[in-house]
Structure 1
Amino acid sequence: MSAGSASFLEIQPSELAFPFELMKQSSCSMQLANKTDHYVAFKVKTTNPKQYCVRPNIGVVLPGSTCDVTVTMQAQREAPPDLQCKDKFLVQSVAAENGAATQDISAAMVQQGAREGC
């Protein structure tokens, strides 16, 4: 994951690592930290949405606060070739109005203001 110079959120860790076990799902956590004085709306996307469950995948991080996001990889029936995973995640963020809540966030709002990638 890499953040642009005008990013609203700091993302930790910069890379997700899933322990691989056949027929068993595994989870990783990442933390989104809002270092600004603004409410920040976010949306998490992946190149392989059938393979991962992201909770929450959309939300609002209050000024000076953090949000923990859990990414769960679904159970695999077979190992990927060379055990290499090419899946990617994208964290989009945009400044939101003060008092904004998750239900106020629209996909168009976040896409128009996207600032970060991973």
Structure 2
Amino acid sequence: MMTTPAPASASAHAVNSSNGQGASSTSAILRISPQTFQFTASKVSSGLVSKLKIKNLHATHVGYKFKTNAPLRYSVKPVLGVLAPGQSIEVFVRCESWVNPQDRFLLQSVSLTEQESQHVDAVTRKSEKC
């Protein structure tokens, strides 16, 4: 059994899909912009889509994962990944039906060592191929 040390830094960001309110921890390691979802009609298919940009503000690699209380209503791409120091990525959130004011999203993040980031990145790529 292999054990890894507890992460040096972890953070969680909550984004509200209904009223535009966003919240984050005081020691954020990621920047989310915009702070709220701005759903618009999809040009490619039916439904609504919102684009977010997340940026790693930390000096180390950061792993992230999006969660929602309505996983059947929303699709997040990419739902998880690893960002190098200073790296940014665009995340697309699709909603196939209506946006419920009670829907919530959570972006979890954790600082990673170089070795941990390579392992998580490899596992993520392998799972995307399935």
Contact 2:56 2:87 in 1 (8 A): yes
Write the mapping of 1:1-118 to structure 2, written as runs, cut at 5 A. 1-19=22-40, 24-74=46-96, 76=97, 85-98=101-114, 100-101=117-118, 102-104=121-123
Instruction: With the length of structure 2 as denominator, give the TM-score of the two structures.
Output: 0.66
Number of aligned residues: 98
TM-score (norm 1): 0.72
Cα deviations by residue, 1:33-89 (Å, 9 ceiling, x for unpaired): 111211000000011000010000010011011011110111x3xx67xxx522111
CA deviation after TM superposition for structure 1 residue 20, in Å: 6.4
Partner deviation per Cα, 1:9-42 (whole Å, 9 max, x = no partner): 0111111022369x93111111111112110000
Contact 2:30–2:109 (CA<8 Å) still a contact in 1? yes
Question: Taking structure 1 as reference, are residues 6 and 104 closer, same or farther at Cα in structure 2, changes over 3 Å only?
Answer: farther
**Which sections of structure 2, spanning at least 5 residues, go unmatched?**
1-21, 125-130
- Structure 1 stretch 37-46 or stretch 91-100: which is displaced more? 91-100
RMSD: 2.3
Query: Percent identity among equivalent residues?
Result: 26
- Relative contact order (C-alpha < 8 Å, sep 6+): which is higher? 1
CA distance in 2, matches of 1:104, 1:38: 19
Indicate how the Cα distance of structure 1 residues 68 and 20 shifts in structure 2: closer, same or farther if over 3 A, else same. Answer: closer
Question: Aligned partner of 2:108: which letter?
Answer: Q
The separation in 2 between residues aligned to 1:104 and 1:5, in whole angstroms, is 30
- Distance apart, 1:90 and its partner CA: 0.3
